[in-house]
Amino acid sequence: MRLSPWKAGLGAAARRLAFGSFLVMVALTSSCKGIPGLGDATDDSNPDIPQPYVTLSMIMPGDESARMREFVDNELNARLKQELNLKLELTYIPWADYQSKVELALSTGENYDLFWYGTSFVSDYRTKGYIRPLDTLLQTYGQDLTANIPSDNFKQYEMDGSLWAIPSQAFTSAGKFTSVMVRQDLLESVGMKEIRTIADLEAFYTKMHARDPSYYGYLENDRGQDVLWRELSDQPLTFLDENQMFAVNENTGELVDYLESELYKKVADVRKRWVDIGVIDKRLAGNKAANIDQEDAGKLLFRVGAVSRAMENLQTVQNADPDAKLREYYLAPDKPKYIVAPSNEAYMIPTKSLHPERAMQFMNWILQSKEHYNFIIYGVEGKDYRIENDKIKLLTNDQFMYEWMWRNKNYFMPTTNVDDSVVEDMLHNDDNARISKIFGFHFNQEPVKKEYAKVLAVYNEKFLPINLGIVGYDQAFPSAMEALKKAGYDKVWAEFKRQYAEFRASQTSRADREGSK
Amino acid sequence: MKSSIFTRMVLALLLLLTPIIALYAYSNHTSSSVLKREIVKAKRTQVQTFVGQLGQMFAQYDSYQKMLYESNEVRNLAYPDLLNDDLLYYRTLKTVSEEISRLAGYGRWKGIIAVVYPKTGVVIKSNSSLGAVPAELPDKDGFWSYRTSPKGNAYFIETISNPAKSAREEEADLTVVAKVDEGEIKSDLSEMKSNGLEDPFLYKPGDTPIYNYTANQDLIRELLPELDPVATEDGFDPLLIRTSGGTYQVHMDMVQSLGWYLVDYVPIDTIMAPIKRSQTMFYSISGMMLFMACILSFLLYRSIRIPFRKLMQGMNFIEKGIYTSRMKDPPRGEFRYVYQKFNSMAARIEELIEDVLKEQIRTKEANVKQLQSQINPHFLYNTLAYIKSMVELEEKEAAVSMTMNLSRYYRYTTKLSSSFATIQEELNLIENYLDIHRMLTDDFEYEIDIDPAMLKMEIPRLSLQPLIENVIVHAFRKPVKYGSVRIRGTLEEGGLARLTVDDNGTGLTPAQLESLQAKIRTAPSDQIDAGLHNVHQRLMLLFGKGSGLFLSHSERGGLCAELVWQVQVGEAE
């Protein structure tokens, strides 16, 4: 249609008008959108950041320090939100109840996403169905874990062809829990240099007690018998189970019924003597948390070592006594140490976890770089720590993420307060070490779980007082052993022997195969 | 028509919109005040819920404390003499320590519970940290009190002792301690903040407030002097505090067990943002509607009012007699049809008016021609000379007959009253005319044979006479033989009437016939032939196409001129 000029002008005017009204409409809608509070500008554009924003619940042992609480709430979570889009929520369970509370949480199906425990629990938790296999997660999200942790360390958590835990620590572990950690400063203050025998420990206590009776000795009841074995036993033994009932002879490879052995009597007698002379304070022994309380208070003279405990616990003890020094000793130091597990730390993801992939991402994040590693272990550089001559200078005495959990050969830096001798001890810890006969053995409780539970209950009730020296061996052992047998001790022992024999057989055949290759 | 449709439409739309806007404004006002109340209520409930949560935490530790206080094992440990057996003491201690850590481990709160035996120096506590239980306990038993350790860490603590301790110097056998660190409260406050509170803090007049980790402390310090817990206790309206940075609505509620207030403040603008937003939205949409309404009425104006006005102009032209006026640029839609109809109507009117005018002009022309031809002096001289001769010859009857014929002829031809005449009248004229000429020359004869039904029909006056004149003037000019004229009238089946005049004269060559035919059909000339042309045109104008004067060769040798027209229905009778 041809338009007259006038008409064309009118049409153009109408179009301009319509366009104008459209502009007005756009302006109005956009001004409505522009009202603040209508929606925060979250930047979802980065494809690397996982969606959505979730809370990762993790169980930690011990007590949370005030600074850790603040650090998690502020600096750490701000960063984790940015880099992993998650919020970390830590539930601390005191050491004294750790096992029972963790197992309660796992069995009642609380939705935790990640927790730590010792190597010996992995097999049990796998059998009970508490934890999930991690192979796929590790492959997908764990590049930095596999890069920084030797592949041998992963092998100890491989069962039925699947991986069940992350061996978070990659350092030395020979002779773990068979050493004794001593307040070196106090030892030196009474004119002693080192600990080599049980007599040294007793002398240390006696001299110290004479000077200040507020100091105590050893208070642990769950460990430490094997510390004494190094001196008391002519055969090298290693505990087979966390509950200290059975052992293996490292020379012969045979199982030992420890409770019924002469060695147990010897250990019990030493403990009884310690209670009598006051090395173990019987007024505190029943208080499960007392050894930690006393250590935190700077009143503990010695306790069981853990390869690097002298370094780990220094910070805490210096809180109470700024001059404190710690050092670990092996009794009969010339005897070899045994490596039961290359890493005693195991990070597991519960079956009921809501965000397993995030848990793996979080673990991977820790070992992603030295900067992440230092951040989560030591806090904010310049505020919580400083780097001085390749050492960490701590500016706060509060504990962050436990260093020992994630200690890694590639990132490790000693703290300035730790003596070089302690660091030397650690770096040479593997020198006199051998692989234990039980390396890779995992006891499956399933066939005897009823008897095992009963045996443990009786053991806790009847044998702990003997272990601690509260009651004498001669007086209490016969009735205690009788009760234990009634609970099904023999059946458990037989099952241990059967499974161990099976394990040995498979070890030999594998060795043969490898030899014939 | 001056207050056009456009203005009326805008007015109507305004009238429609105004009550809607007014109604909405009213309902908006009502709903926003309801909403405002609800928001205040919701905020208050929210604060109360969190206060409840905090209270619950402290209540929980209260009950743990009571449980421990009433436990036999806890009491027995205070008296070592009762437990002189090492194993019994060990077991009791184990039970108590396990109980304490069990209690502290439940729930999501991280308070500390402990039993202190001042006489034996034994402390059993749920947290191993140094300083978890303060070295110095409050002087007397009591509910939660807020204290600060020498190191600067603040905490809430409550103690209960056996026997009850009411002064510093009294030494109790055992004291059960429950303690919540300030850090725990801060963490809870931060949690509340992420769960919906704006910027909560804990406040007690006279103490430093406990902030959440990300609190705007400067602003809170500015608010503090205005906080009046008593004033807000009963009233429903929340406290409003004006600061340099704006007005804040403050909600506070007391954590009963502590005596501290949980305070949360909201910038009033934030709280009212949703309401304000919906208001802005409504008003902008109303504005848009108004605007759109104007556009709509403009569009309507363009598509109705403008074409209508043009149509009116066209009508005015027609009214003023400018029949050539036509509508140009027909718009789309219904108006295009109206324009087209208008145009065809105008064309038809123009056509009709032209026809009438032409007919009038031709009638006049015919009359003038007729008069001219009849006032031909020769014709008159000849007839007068004939009459004189007849009188001289005493042929009285012939003279009288000529005189009568002449008289009738002139009377008829000079009568101008009507432009129509019946065929009978026309025939009468023709007879007079022919008789006159026959008397003068006596060299021809004529014959009239008309269908009687035609005699009453009306045809244009003087439309037959030119044909006869043509025969007398042209066909019989050079008489070689005795002339003969035949006039026939027939009425055909289809209502077609024919009046035929043919002669036995010399006739025309085909070429001449064709040229004459063409002359009749085309423009009029000043020649005498114009009479034939005139006749043809008049018939055509009156009776439509197919009518007119047609020429052909006569079977009798001369020319055959034929008047043909379509008889109107009803006239034939």
pLDDT in tens, B418-430: 778 888 988 988 8
Q: How many other β-carbons are positioned within 10 Å of the β-carbon of residue B292?
A: 14
Nearest CB among B190, B273, B329 relative to A7 is that of: B329
Q: How far apart are CA B363 and CA B538, in angstroms?
A: 8
Cα of B181 to nearest chain A Cα, Å: 9
Interface contacts A/B by beta carbons within 8 Å: 132
pLDDT in tens, B229-249: 766 665 567 778 888 878 888
Nearest CB among B92, B125, B281 relative to A293 is that of: B125
Chain A, nearest residue to B105 by Cα: A93
What pLDDT does A25 receive? 45
Write down how long chain A is.
517
pLDDT at A485 over 90: yes
pLDDT at A219 over 80: no
pLDDT at B140 over 80: yes
Q: How far apart are CA B240 and CA B269, in angstroms?
A: 12
How far CA A505 is from CA of A248, A250, A419, A440, A509, in Å, comes to: 15, 16, 45, 13, 6
Q: Do B214 and A74 touch (CB under 8 A)?
A: yes
3-state secondary structure A292-310: HHHHHCCCECEEECCCCHH
pLDDT at B563 over 50: yes
Quote helix, strand, coil % in chain B, to nearest 5.
55, 20, 25
Radius of gyration of chain A (CA): 30
The residues that bridge with A303 in the sheet, in sequence order, are A181
Amino acid in position A156: Q
> By the CB < 8 Å criterion, does A471 face chain B?
yes
Q: Do B87 and A465 touch (CB under 8 A)?
A: yes
CB–CB of B6/B300 below 8 Å?
A: yes
Could you give the percent of chain A with pLDDT greater than 90?
48
pLDDT in tens, B261-304: 899 888 877 767 777 887 888 888 888 888 888 888 788 777 77
pLDDT in tens, B30-80: 887 887 788 788 888 888 899 998 898 899 899 999 999 999 999 998 888
Q: Do A286 and B295 touch (CB under 8 A)?
A: no
Cα of A466 to nearest chain B Cα, Å: 10
Tokens of B205: 């007049």
pLDDT at A115 over 80: yes
Q: How far apart are CA A73 and CA A293, in angstroms?
A: 26
Half-sphere exposure (CA, 13 Å, Cβ side) for B96? 33
pLDDT at B7 over 50: yes
pLDDT at B416 over 80: no
User: Residue range A62-90: average pLDDT?
Assistant: 89
Chain B, nearest residue to A281 by Cα: B90
* Residues in chain A closer than 8 A to B94 (CB atoms): 286-288
Chain B, nearest residue to A291 by Cα: B128
How far CA A126 is from CA of A121, A122, A151, A283, A348, in Å, comes to: 8, 6, 21, 39, 10
Q: Is the peptide bond before A61 cis (omega within 30 degrees of 0)?
A: no
pLDDT at B253 over 80: yes
> By the CB < 8 Å criterion, does A18 face chain B?
yes
Q: Do B87 and A35 touch (CB under 8 A)?
A: no
Report pTM: 0.61
* Residues in chain B closer than 8 A to A22 (CB atoms): none
Cα of A246 to nearest chain B Cα, Å: 25
State how beta strands A54-61 and A86-93 pair.
parallel
Instruction: Provide the mean pLDDT of chain A.
Output: 85
pLDDT at A216 over 90: no
> Which residues of A, range 266-285, sit inside 8 Å of B by Cβ?
275, 282-285
pLDDT at A318 over 90: no
Q: Do B97 and A17 touch (CB under 8 A)?
A: no
What pLDDT does A17 receive? 45
Among B299, B396, B279, which Cα is nearest to A17's? B299
Q: What are the helix (H) ranges across A217-279?
A: 225-232, 262-277
Q: To probe the interface with A, which of B77, B91, B129 has the most A CB atoms within 10 Å? A: B129
Cα of A95 to nearest chain B Cα, Å: 9
Question: Which pLDDT band holds residue A40 (cuts at 50, 70, 90)?
Answer: very low
* Residues in chain A closer than 8 A to B126 (CB atoms): 94, 289
pLDDT at A250 over 90: yes
Q: Do B90 and A468 touch (CB under 8 A)?
A: yes
Q: To probe the interface with B, which of A283, A318, A397, A473 has the most B CB atoms within 10 Å? A: A283
What was the ipTM of the complex prediction?
Answer: 0.74
pLDDT in tens, A159-206: 888 999 999 988 877 888 899 999 999 999 999 999 999 999 999 999
How far CA A343 is from CA of A171, A327, B134, in Å, comes to: 7, 21, 38
* Residues in chain B closer than 8 A to A1 (CB atoms): 332
Chain A, nearest residue to B103 by Cα: A97
Nearest CB among A24, A101, A298 relative to B105 is that of: A101
Q: How far apart are CA A367 and CA A410, in angstroms?
A: 9
How far CA A212 is from CA of A207, A215, A216, A342, in Å, comes to: 9, 6, 10, 40
Tokens of B392: 């001289």
| Most confident region among A97-111, A227-241, B123-137 by mean pLDDT | A227-241
User: Residue range A274-296: average pLDDT?
Assistant: 84
